[in-house]
Amino acid sequence: MSGPMPVVFLGHGSPMNAIEDNAWRRSWQDLGRRLPRPKAILCVSAHWETQGVYVSAAEKPETIHDFHGFPKALFDVRYRAPGSPELAHRVAELVRTPHVHLDHKRGLDHGAWGVLAPMYPEADIPIVQLSLSSLQPGAWHYDLAKQLAPLRDEGVLVVGSGNIVHNLRLWRPGMTDGYDWAQRFDEDIADRITEGHHEGMLGYETLGPDALLAIPTPEHYLPLLYVLALQREGEPVEFFNDQVASSISMRSLLIGG
């Protein structure tokens, strides 16, 4: 591999996307085939929230089924990718502030395996997760992520897994189009990303009434900031899955691909 590894943000949507034959899952399969093969993956998922910052350091992380009300087939999924204590220690070494704690028991939540299993079905690439200290402001997460920049030159694929717009309270099954406010916010964020205006996205709470509906809680939005923080000068951004259904945006992006 020549040059840095790309960085990816994936709108993951429903856990069922991990096993259903749909456009989202097929896009993740295609992505896994086209990307340079990583030595390891660091995933920042919406579904690991902590007080303080933790990195998973288990050698054989379990598959966490952190949801309810779905078919048995989804609970039967076991994604047996190895962990990487080595990468976990490297993350803790790179991030000087705040202190990063190692969690030797944490498995892979569905924000991670739900997208990585379609991308890498052989489950042969080591995966480490970085937790979200979700009570911290956006700029804090962005600054933390900046410290991870050397990983891109070490063959590590950084994956953010969440959704730019994620409001389950207003979700309407069968509603294929997005609410007007959801469409507007998704497009506003896409414009800011295209223009490189990261700073304006950090204080997402100040982006108007659409933002309050799009981000009622921050955990699905914050992984995007980790990915944007790793963009280098002049690197292209490629959007894909840029659809909004009801109150969830599936917009995803590839940087440096």
Range of the structural domain that residue 57 is part of = 7-255
34-76: pLDDT as tens digits: 999 999 999 999 999 999 999 999 999 999 999 989 999 999 9
Total of domains in the chain: 1
Confidence (pLDDT) at 205: 87
In single-letter form, the type of residue at position 202 comes to L
Max alpha carbon distance in the chain (Å)? 46
229 within a domain of the structure (yes/no):
yes
- 188-197 residue pLDDT tens: 999 999 999 9
Residue numbers of the chain with a pLDDT score lower than 50:
none
Q: Report yes or no on whether pTM surpasses 0.95.
A: yes
Q: Is 1 part of any domain?
A: no
Would you give the DSSP letter of residue 178?
B
What is the spatial distance between Cα 12 and Cα 224, in angstroms, rounded to a whole number? 12
Angle at which helices 23-34 and 110-119 cross, to 10°: 70
Inside any domain, residue 95: yes
CB 55 within 8 A of CB 158: no
Tokens of 57: 């350091």
Residue 26: how many CB atoms within 10 A of its CB?
12
3-state secondary structure of 47: strand
CATH number at residue 174: 3.40.830.10
- The mean of the pLDDT values for the chain is 96
Q: Is residue 2 part of a domain?
A: no
